Structure formats: structure tokens, C-alpha cells
């Protein structure tokens, strides 16, 4: 319950811009606005860096690096390295990931202080379209009057009826990032990026993992050929992947037991030490008092125009709370748009077809632009080029032969419409193709660009050459 202290009795400050949330969008907006000469305050209820730095992108990738090493040690003999059998210390892997997150969070704090941004610890609560109360431990401690406001409050995990997280046996990715001992078995519900990454991490650590996805394939928004290839890779790695399926009759006891229902097949029992629910997120739009500011919300996400402006002219929303592609680098790009708009400039708008998407399993997945299915559905006549990593000298040297580069071109003018990579290093290779997509590079230009040998990036050139041969 909030303190009854009246807002007029609280310490007050006036700023040009108040920002709610310090994730990739929030702190980027603060730094840019401060550099532009604005007086900025940033309100954050948790650790600086938001979910991405503290419980999302960064600690996840630190753990996934541990999983990559787990997997590599298993294959050490093929590289001429004799390694005695040893166990996996999950607590140490988690400790490392937490230290990585803490270091980056402290770094963000340093950058904000150096830029002159006032950081206020607490929850922001609108009292009017220009005024915010800051609440700490249930007590109103300060008020902020702002000419402009950016809401960058992020998102939280969605819940499924009958599978509400209890933090003990039914968990979200947040709890999965902090387990101290390795479970023998785990059910993961959700075949999107979070579910795929968590399933792969625990499988590499030695947990028996069952991955359940309601849609017909993993990563249902990605190119079908890439999704199918990832499923085969996961099954080869010992992960049980069940698509077009759902869980019913979930019971929590010493383990989590449920019925696995697959369309057209007989139902079967399934159980695990933990049930990890990773079925997407919803925006953190409630609890902010947006109704007092007149900000419109739809299905948990704040409604905005292409300039990130909400239904109230001087209030903007960026990042996950705005909806669309739920990616940290999209939030950072939106921060630029919002700050430029506040400064009175006309920024270049964001084209989601130019934003790369990455999944950090092994093999990893990276893509930008249209899938083959999407391009055809939009009326394009397409030419597709492929290059298999099994034919790559560098991939063979790495011992990472799975996957391919798949490029989708407009058959009429040769322009790149979409690029899709499944394989080791895919998330690093996508940068070249994101630039190629933005510059509307053709298959001929990609094929004619000299790539270093031996590198994984040669497969991009070879995929373009394959398209030209067709």
C-alpha cells in the first residue's frame, strides 16, 4: 500500500526529459538526450540495465557460452585434447553469468553519471500528463515534472492458465538463469528464442529436456527451412522436440507432471523436475498510472505512431512496452527516434524488415528481412541461393558442419529480400547481410565481393553465386 503523503509535500525536480526504465532503450535515450543538452532524469525500480542486462540478453549469453564449452569438452578428443571426465558446476556457471551482468550494470551507471543524467531509484507513477511520483518501498519519495517523458518500462513473461509460475517447480527464464543445481529433467514450453536457448543450455549441461511448441515448428516466425534444420539439430543433440503440441492437466508435486497432447496422436504423460514456461511476453504498461496521463494501451502494449509518440503528444514509448519485434537493439534504435523527435528533428523511421533477429543456441540462428514464404506471399517472384556449411573449409576446421546460409532475392532485379543463417557463428555473420539488405545489394554484388579464405563468411558469397546459377 502506498504512503498517503501528499505529492505537494514531496521533494520535487523539473527536467526537460524523464525516462521510465533503464534497459537498452531507456539508458540509450538518456545518454542521447543528455548529449543533446537536455536536463534528463532516469527512473529505475531495479538494477540499471533493466531485464536485458540483468536477467535477459547478457546473463543468458554468458550461460550459453558455458554451454558451448560443455559441448566442446565432450568433443575434445576429436581435436586431439585428452580431457578426463568431469562434472558441470552449474552454480559456478550461474555465478559467472551474474558477475558479467553486474559488471555491465555498473558500467551503465558510470556512463549515466558521466553524462550528467540524474538516476532516481524507484517506481514511476503518473499523476498527470507531465508529472510523476517516484515510489520506493511503497512510499512516495519524490515528484518529477517533465516537459517530455519516454516510457521504456520493458515487458514481463506471459502466463498460461494452469501453468502459472510458482518460482519453485514452474519457473520462468529468470529462475532458470539462477538455478544452483542441475536438474535431471526439464520441460520447456515455448519454442521461441527464449525457450530454444534455455532448452539448449540445459541439454548441453546434461539435463534431459523436452521442448514443447504449440505451433507446427520451432521459431515459427523464422524461415521454415531454418526452423526445420534447427529441430533436426536439437533432436540429434538429444533434445526431445514436440511441435504442434500443448500441455494439459499440469500437476506439481515432487516433480511437474502433465499430459502432452499432440494433434492427431495419442496423448502421453510427461514429467520433469521443472517446467519452464517461455511463451512470450506482455508489456509492462500496468501500474504506471497511464490512465491519468491519457496514454492509450492495447493488449498490454502502449499504442504509438511511427515516431514512438503515444496518444499524448509529449509522451513517447520505446522498446518492448511498445510492442512489435521484442529486441534490445530495436529498443536502442527507437531511443534515437524518440529523442530526435523530442529535440524537434525529423528522424529516419524504423523499418522492421531491416532489423536482424538472432537466437543464440548451437547451431545459432540469425536472419533479416523476409523469409522465402513471406516474400512469395507478398507477391515477389524469388530466387533462392544456398550454401551448406558442410562444404565450408572453415566450418570443417571448426568441426561445425550443421546448417546453411540461405539468401532470398527478388528475381526481377536481384535485390536481397531476406537472409537466413543456421550454423556456428550465424549471429556474427548476419551483420554483413543486414547492411546488404539496407543498401539493397544484389546477388551479383554479393557474389562479386571478395571474401577472405578460409572464413565462414565465404558461405555468404557462395550462396549468392548459387542464386545466380539459377
At 213, list the grid cell: 511448441
Label residue 295 exposed, middle or buried (CB < 10 Å: 0-12, 13-18, 19+): buried
Quick one: angle between helices 328-342 and 24-35, nearest 10? 30
Judge if 20 and 147 occupy the same domain: yes
Say how far apart CA 384 and CA 43 lie, in whole Å.
48
In angstroms, the Cα distances linking 361 to 201, 257, 320, 411, 456 are 8, 27, 22, 32, 17
Q: What is the pLDDT of residue 264?
A: 83
Residue 292 counted as domain residue: yes
141 and 16 belong to one structural domain: yes
Mean pLDDT of 168-193: 95
Q: Residues 273-277: what's their mean pLDDT? A: 97
350 is a domain residue: no
The answer on pLDDT for 336 being more than 90 is yes
The predicted-structure confidence for 39-73, as pLDDT tens digits, reads as follows: 999 999 999 999 999 888 999 999 999 999 988 88
Average pLDDT (353-380) is 97
pLDDT at 10: 73
Answer whether residue 291 is part of any domain.
Answer: yes
Residue 351 lies in a domain: no
Q: 308 and 327, same structural domain?
A: yes
Q: Looking at the predicted structure, is the pLDDT value of residue 247 above 80? A: yes
pLDDT of res. 87: 76
Verify that 92 and 142 share a domain, yes or no.
Answer: yes
pLDDT tens, residue by residue, 279-305: 989 999 999 999 999 999 999 999 999
**C-alpha cell of 34?**
543528455
CATH number of 192's domain: 3.50.50.60
pLDDT of 439 higher than 50? yes
Domain-embedded: residue 352: no
Please say which residue of 252, 279, 306 terminates a domain.
Answer: 279
The average pLDDT across 261-265 equals 89
Is position 318 within any domain?
yes
Give the mean model confidence (pLDDT) for residues 395-405. Answer: 96
SS3 of 235, please? Answer: helix
pLDDT of residue 3: 53
Q: Are residues 180 and 273 in the same domain?
A: yes
CA separation for the pair 236, 128 (Å, rounded): 56
Co-location of 37 and 148 in the same domain? yes
% of the chain surpassing 70 pLDDT: 98
Residue range 392-403: average pLDDT?
95
Clarify whether residues 211 and 112 are in a common domain.
no
Would the pLDDT of 174 be above 70? yes
Instruction: Give pLDDT, residue 8.
Output: 57
Question: Which segment, 7-11, 171-175, 335-339, is predicted with the most confidence on average?
Answer: 335-339
Give yes or no for residue 307 having a pLDDT over 90.
yes
Where a domain ends, among 256, 279, 302? 279
Residues 144 and 213 in one domain: no
Predicted pLDDT at 7: 54
Range in 83-92, 99-108, 143-152 the model is least confident about = 83-92
5-19, 103-117, 140-154, 261-275: least confidently modelled range: 5-19
Parallel, antiparallel, or unpaired: how do β-strands 123-126 and 268-272 relate? Answer: unpaired
If asked whether residues 405 and 309 sit together in one domain, one would say no
The residue-averaged pLDDT of 420-430 equals: 97
- The SS3 call for residue 231 is helix
348 belongs to a structural domain: no
CB 128 within 8 A of CB 214: no
Same domain, 145 and 291: yes
Q: Any idea of the CA torsion for 388, 424, 362, 54, to the nearest 10 degrees?
A: -140
**Neighbouring C-beta atoms of residue 179, cutoff 10 Å:** 19
Whole-number average pLDDT of the chain: 94
Q: How many domains does the chain fold into?
A: 3
Among left, alpha and beta (phi > 0; psi -120 to 50; other), residue 403 is: left
Domain housing 81: 7-157+282-342
First-to-last alpha carbon distance for the chain, in angstroms, is 67
Over residues 88-112, the mean pLDDT reads: 94
**Are residue 445 and residue 331 in the same domain, yes or no?**
no
76 and 24 both lie in a single domain: yes
pLDDT of 85 over the 80 cut: no
- Alpha-carbon torsion angle 336, 337, 342, 343, nearest 10: 60
Say whether pLDDT at 4 is over 50: no
At 79, the pLDDT band (50, 70, 90 cuts) reads very high
Give catalytic residues, as residue numbers.
453
Amino acid at each position: 500500500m502506498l504512503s498517503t503523503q501528499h505529492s505537494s509535500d514531496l521533494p520535487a525536480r523539473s527536467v526537460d526529459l524523464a525516462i521510465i526504465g533503464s534497459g537498452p532503450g531507456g539508458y540509450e535515450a538518456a545518454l542521447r538526450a543528455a548529449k543533446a543538452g537536455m536536463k534528463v532524469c532516469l527512473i529505475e525500480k531495479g538494477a540499471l540495465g533493466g531485464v536485458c542486462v540483468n536477467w535477459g540478453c547478457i546473463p543468458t549469453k554468458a550461460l550459453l557460452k558455458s554451454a558451448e564449452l560443455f559441448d566442446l569438452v565432450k568433443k575434445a578428443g576429436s581435436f586431439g585434447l585428452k580431457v578426463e571426465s568431469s562434472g558441470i558446476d552449474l552454480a559456478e556457471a550461474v555465478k559467472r553469468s551474474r558477475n558479467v551482468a553486474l559488471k555491465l550494470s555498473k558500467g551503465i551507471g558510470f556512463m549515466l553519471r558521466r553524462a550528467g543524467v540524474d538516476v532516481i531509484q524507484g517506481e514511476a507513477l503518473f499523476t498527470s500528463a507531465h508529472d510523476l511520483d517516484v515510489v520506493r518501498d511503497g512510499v512516495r519519495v519524490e515528484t518529477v515534472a517533465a516537459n517530455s517523458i519516454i516510457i521504456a518500462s520493458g515487458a514481463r513473461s506471459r502466463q498460461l492458465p494452469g501453468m502459472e509460475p510458482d518460482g519453485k517447480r514452474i519457473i520462468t527464464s529468470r529462475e532458470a538463469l539462477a538455478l544452483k543445481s542441475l536438474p535431471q529433467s526439464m520441460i520447456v514450453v515455448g519454442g521461441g528464442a527464449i525457450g530454444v536457448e534455455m532448452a539448449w543450455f540445459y541439454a548441453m549441461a546434461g539435463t534431459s529436456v523436452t521442448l514443447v511448441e504449440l505451433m507446427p515448428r520451432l521459431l515459427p516466425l523464422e524461415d521454415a527451412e531454418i526452423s526445420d534444420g534447427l529441430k533436426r539439430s536439437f533432436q540429434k543433440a538429444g533434445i526431445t522436440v514436440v511441435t504442434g503440441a500443448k500441455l494439459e492437466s499440469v500437476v506439481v508435486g515432487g516433480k511437474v507432471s502433465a499430459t502432452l497432447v499432440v494433434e492427431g496422436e495419442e496423448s502421453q504423460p510427461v514429467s520433469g523436475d521443472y517446467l519452464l514456461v517461455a511463451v512470450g511476453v506482455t508489456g509492462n504498461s500496468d501500474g504506471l498510472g497511464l490512465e491519468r496521463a491519457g496514454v492509450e494501451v492495447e493488449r498490454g502494449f502502449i499504442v504509438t505512431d511511427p515516431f514512438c509518440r503515444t496518444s499524448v503528444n509529449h509522451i513517447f514509448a520505446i522498446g518492448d512496452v511498445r510492442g512489435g519485434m521484442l529486441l534490445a537493439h530495436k529498443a536502442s534504435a527507437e531511443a534515437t527516434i524518440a529523442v530526435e523527435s523530442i529535440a524537434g528533428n525529423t528522424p529516419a523511421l524504423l523499418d522492421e524488415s531491416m532489423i536482424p533477429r538472432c537466437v543464440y543456441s548451437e547451431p545459432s540462428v540469425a536472419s533479416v528481412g523476409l523469409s522465402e514464404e513471406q516474400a512469395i506471399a507478398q507477391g515477389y517472384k524469388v530466387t533462392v541461393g544456398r550454401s551448406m556449411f558442410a562444404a565450408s573449409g572453415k566450418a570443417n576446421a571448426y568441426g561445425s558442419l550443421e546448417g546453411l546460409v540461405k539468401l532470398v532475392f527478388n528475381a526481377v532485379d536481384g535485390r536481397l529480400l531476406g537472409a537466413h543463417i543456421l550454423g556456428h557463428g550465424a549471429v556474427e555473420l548476419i551483420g554483413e547481410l543486414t547492411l546488404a539488405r539496407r543498401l539493397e545489394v544484389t546477388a551479383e554484388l554479393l557474389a562479386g565481393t571478395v571474401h577472405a579464405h578460409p572464413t565462414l563468411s565465404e558461405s555468404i558469397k557462395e550462396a549468392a553465386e548459387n542464386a545466380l546459377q539459377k
